[in-house]
Chains A and B, each alone.
Chain A
Amino acid sequence: MELALSDVRGLSLDLKGIGHAFGATVALDEIDLTVAAGELIALLGPSGCGKTTMLQIIAGFLRPSRGEVRFDGARVEHIPANRRRIGMVFQNYALFPHLTVFENVAYGLRARKTAKDVVAAKVEQMLGLTQMASFARRLPGELSGGQQQRVALARTLAIDPGLVLLDEPFSALDKNLRLDMQIEIKSLLKTFGVTSIIVTHDQEEALSMADRIVVLNNGRIEQIDSPDALYDRPASLFISSFIGHTNLLRGTVTDADRVQLDAGPEIDLGRSTQRRRGTQVTISVRPENIAFGAERPGAIPITIRATLPLGAVSVTEGVTASGEAVKVSQARAAGIAKAQAGETAWLAISDVSRVSIFSTPVDDVSKFQQRSV
């Protein structure tokens, strides 16, 4: 890249013991998070998990009830949003509808009383990077969703922020456009070396964009990990069902490494369950880690309910004898016979080392089970 961007550096972020309550409602509790300069973090969680509150605290729109926010080691709770070197990309982009693309991108620079020729040069550079140069004189209302998002990002990056916060940035885009924009925006953010935090409830978005994902639930951090680690080694039943699709099967520990499933067979996990004999457990098996096989000891019998051809893969849904829904995902290669609804099939776990095991919660597991694909 020929542009002089090397001096642009993201700042590091530290949250320590952050807590926030709206009246009696606790929105955030004991949040500790360290984000390195230039890192791309996703805050992921269902609606109401506290991720928006966390974003507003980092941005400075909200002062936390407790805890410390540090930028590059210095506390910033008392610094208002407009002095924090923060760039914000809103869910609806929040472009100024009465200003042209050029004026939108120039807004932050003009607010800083930047010289006119510097503003023009900088705006041109930003519009060039986001491939919006030919739209400089248009109004936001005349642009498509993807174009508006590019302008929003150009406007944010124009002020050389140390930290960019993106609030559900792709939710307003068509599904087809979403992946393209995710790739484009990720590479732009990485080019700038800016620290970025994406807030999302969409796990695919978090998995595709982030270096690390912070999973929030009920105002607490459930796990902080890389996308792969989160998918392969979820720390809780909640995460295993929230990240990707999974099958949850209940059972009882019968030996150090063996579980008797309610669905029928006893399976060997190949490693210690680290639980006492007789403990109620739930195992999580990804749909792609399970395959149709022959009737033999250890195979799980299911009754087929439906087969859904989803493009590259085909997902078969069935139900075990104990009433648990099971999904099997397989590549749609030639020669795979389509299972008919009502038939009985036998399932085998492909790789037991990738099966996660959790203690069965006191309340029902079914609240973690997903309804459909």
Chain B
Amino acid sequence: MLPVIPLAALFLAAFVLPLIALVAISLFRTPQFAELSPAQYLRFFSDPFSIKVLTDTIWLGTEVALATLILAYPLALVYAASGQVMRTLITFLIMLPLLTSTVVRTFAWIVLLGRDGIINTAMLSLGLWQAPARLLYTWEGMVLALTQIQLPLMALPVINSLLRLDGNLTRAAEGLGAGRARIFVTVILPLTLPGAIAGWLLVFAAAATAFITQTLVGGGRIILMPSYIYQQAVGVQDWPFSAALSLIFTLAVTGIVFAIGALSRRCVRGVDAA
């Protein structure tokens, strides 16, 4: 019990207390901290723009999680079928993004996607494109960059659960006459779902809250919750509203994380062979 006291103290001071402060601040009606009321929350839910920012942010997290999921399975299957040398190489490539700073990774994407960036320059000089395409400061560019940056969060748990899958199960399915696609859908996918869910939750939460990448690759044209909160707090100096935004965003992300977790635990059982 005793050794966890420093951690508990840190958690209390750096997380619980600020959270309580945040709740308190969000309950003031004006930026001058006058009058207690739920006005900030009413303001959020009656404002279509604010709601759009929230749903866009959640949608971004969903898209990035889905993209990493689709990329992670082939990667995991190749990994599981590979020898030791190849596995080490794949692990290194997967881990690489985690070994560089977010800012560096994001700037690398700016270099790639920019108007005079590598992709545009290459396509133009190959004559495939007539004019430079706008890749940077677009939704798609942002999804692409976040997908690459957050792939390890999905790939590692999926690989881990695939390696723990009993090889006799796929052999049994094959022996019973199932082809590769059926084995994947009825055996591999449901039994590695816990890994995929873990990955999904990590990527979803990380992508939705990725302030730096969202801001730099999105370039301020796309307003998402993290930059919205920053703008309200630092730009407009409306602390009560930005506190309310923070709490709504936190609750939305954790709510979705818990809901998906609970829902898919039920689905794992219900997966049918049909």
Contacts and interface: CB of A to CB of B under 8 A. Distances in A.
B168 A111 contact: no
Contacts of B190: 98
Interface in A79-125: 80-83, 86-88, 90-92, 94, 96-99, 103, 106-108, 110-112
Nearest to B179: A82
B272 to A, nearest CB: 7
Contacts of B182: 111
A94 B268 CA distance: 17
Contacts of A80: 174
Nearest to A59: B175
Contacts of A108: 176-178
B169 interface: yes
Given A99-B273, A106-B273, A107-B273, A112 B177 contact: yes
B176 A155 contact: yes
A83 B179 CA distance: 10
A311 B252 CA distance: 68
B174 A81 contact: yes
Interface residue range, chain A:
20 to 34
B127 to A, nearest CB: 47
B210 interface: no
Interface in B171-214: 171-179, 182, 186-187, 190-191
B39 to A, nearest CB: 49
Nearest to A165: B175
A12 B273 CA distance: 32
Given A92-B166, A94-B168, A98-B269, A86 B191 contact: no
A112 B177 CA distance: 7
B171 A88 contact: yes
Contacts of A90: 168, 171-172
Contacts of B103: none
Contacts of B272: 99, 103
B177 A94 contact: no
B126 interface: no
B175 A87 contact: yes
B169 A103 contact: no
B271 A86 contact: no
Interface in B152-173: 166, 168-169, 171-173
Given A103-B273, A107-B273, A110-B274, A94 B178 contact: no
A325 interface: no
Contacts of B166: 92, 94
Given A90-B168, A94-B166, A94-B172, 7 more contacts: A91-B168, A96-B187, A98-B191, A98-B268, A107-B186, A111-B177, A156-B176
21 contacts: A81-B174, A82-B174, A82-B179, A83-B177, A92-B166, A94-B168, A96-B169, A96-B173, A96-B186, A96-B187, A97-B191, A98-B190, A98-B191, A103-B273, A107-B186, A108-B176, A108-B178, A111-B173, A111-B182, A155-B176, A156-B175
Interface of A: 59, 61, 80-83, 86-88, 90-92, 94, 96-99, 103, 106-108, 110-112, 139, 155-156, 159
